[in-house]
Amino acid sequence: MQDLWRLPANDIAALVRSKKISAQEAASAALTRLAAVNPKINAVVEHRPAEVLAQAAAIDAAIARGEDPGPLAGVPVTVKVNIDQEGFATTNGLKLQRELVAKANNPVIDNLRKAGAVILGRTNCPAFSYRWFTTNLIHGDTKNPRDPGITPGGSSGGAGAAVAAGIGHIAHGTDIAGSIRYPAYACGVHGLRPTIGRIAAFNAALPERPIGPQITAVSGPLARTIGDLRIALAAMSGYDSRDPWWVPAPLQGPAMPKRAALCVNPDGLDPVAEVRAAVADAGKRLERAGWVVEEVETPPLREAAELQTKLWLGDGYEAQLATAEREGDPGALACLRGNRSKVFPFDVDTLSKVLTRRATLTRQWLQFLEKYAVLVMPVSGELPFPDQLDMQDDASFARVWHAQLTQIAIPFMGLPGLTVSTGLVGRVPVGVQVVSGRYREDLCLAAGEAIEAGGTPSAAIDPAG
């Protein structure tokens, strides 16, 4: 069977479970694809083919014994280089962490393996996972397979580039300010930022994280179909006692009327015409699928984005800056120095005020999302940026941060957000963001499937020259 790497994860798992193909055949196809296209895009920065094939052989052996291999039976999946995988360095894009070899797996890895997935390789991110661009001093630049002149997104840029180029069927990413949703947008695939507490995560190789990342950073999947995001979410969301924030919420919540809020220009974002058109088109697709769509103003986003930036970068700012200076990564330093006036100083009184305001804003959003099953709005105010735009000058840096308003804001309330790729402008991807109430990823995915079905499906591509 040719081009197994093109198939959705759902199809691969069904073929492996029915013994029409072996997990080793699926793994071999993925490794062949990786070898063919990764040199052009540098999405995967470490992989060990013998270990990949050994994982697949173990799945085939389990099937031969009559055991259930799991919902991701034999599906090749990539994981981001900022989570622990036993025997691999958790670099997070840092030379400083090249020797930080994990002695145990992050719960994400364990849950993927329990579901039958084969971990294909580790994907690139910017230093410290700070930026919406993906380059660092240890692993180098990741290129967008659709157009090397535009960013692959960040911080899960390797994940987005890999899944767009057919390197694996599902990619793991992390998101504290858009790091799943933006690479999906930039690479023309789909990406789900789950609710905080949905997917257990913990890196034993690293110090405990400050409270801001604890309550706003999540792991989640990127894929070429919404259906694959659905099975990836189910696989990744298993219980693990190492994450005290994990919540045993059902994957399917109570039925809600198919009522969507639509906001083309949230809180003064002022998107470009192509982004406005994509949001309006997504609304029309939902209407054709039987949804009632109402154009609205959202609860506060700009204030949430400002407070999220403060909580993310302000807590321990001086220590972060000192580490970034030791690393010497220009992008990381630009991110921290460019935001200094917004986030520093950060003291106990500031933290108390931020967390107090978080309760108020979260309540407003939860009440809004009682009325509407989902909100559809831009992922970014612009089409995917020219690569490294944030490094050009102060005006470009400010432009980037302004455009990412909606991505930065949603994590502050702990809400789920889904990027749905809706098409191309030339060869530059565009899409929309779907937001719902806490632990209602099912509503995001239902709306996402309706939007996806109304357009041209995303498919694996050969990297552009």
Enter the DSSP assignment of 197: T
d(CA 107, CA 139): 24
Residue type, 465: G
Q: Is 155 among the residues known to form the active site? A: yes
d(CA 305, CA 405): 6
For residue 281, the model assigns a pLDDT of: 98
Whether domain 4-453 has CATH 3.90.1300.10 = yes
Does residue 125 contact residue 134 with C-beta atoms inside 8 Å? yes
- What are residue 386's DSSP bridge partners? 150
437-462 CB burial, b ≥16 within 10 A, e <16: bbbbbbbbbbbbbbbbebbeebebbe
Q: Which of 443, 291, 297 is nearest to 364 (CA)?
A: 297
d(CA 163, CA 308): 28
Of the residues 22, 129, 156, 179, only one is catalytic, namely 179
Q: What's the token pair of residue 43?
A: 């999405």
The values of phi and psi at residue 402, to 5°, are -65, -45
Does residue 114 contact residue 238 with C-beta atoms inside 8 Å? yes
For residue 113, the model assigns a pLDDT of: 98
For residue 456, the model assigns a pLDDT of: 85
For residue 175, the model assigns a pLDDT of: 98
266 alpha-carbon distance from chain centroid: 21
Q: What is the chain's length?
A: 465
pLDDT per 10-residue tile (average), the chain, 465 residues: 90 98 98 98 98 98 97 98 98 98 98 98 98 98 98 98 98 98 98 98 97 97 98 98 98 98 98 98 98 98 98 96 98 97 96 98 98 98 98 98 98 98 96 98 98 92 90
40: exposed, middle or buried (C-beta count within 10 Å: 0-12, 13-18, 19+)? middle
To which residue do tokens 């990786």 refer?
34
Which H/E stretch holds residue 122? strand 118-123
Of the residues 28, 155, 237, 421, only one is catalytic, namely 155
Does residue 179 contact residue 380 with C-beta atoms inside 8 Å? no
Q: Is the peptide bond before 155 cis (omega within 30 degrees of 0)?
A: yes
Sequence-distant (≥ 6) Cβ neighbours of residue 398 within 8 angstroms = none
Of the residues 80, 143, 258, 310, only one is catalytic, namely 80
Q: Is 238 left (phi over 0), alpha (psi -120 to 50) or beta?
A: beta
To which residue do tokens 């200076």 refer?
325
Q: Which of 291, 448, 449 is nearest to 372 (CA)?
A: 291
Q: Is 80 among the residues known to form the active site? A: yes
For residue 1, the model assigns a pLDDT of: 59
Q: Which of 295, 215, 201, 282 is nearest to 243 (CA)?
A: 201
Residue type, 9: A
Q: Is 114 among the residues known to form the active site? A: no
d(CA 198, CA 196): 6
- What are residue 175's DSSP bridge partners? 218
Which H/E stretch holds residue 334? helix 330-338
pTM recorded for the entire structure:
0.98
- How many helices (H) and strands (E) the chain has is answered by 17, 11
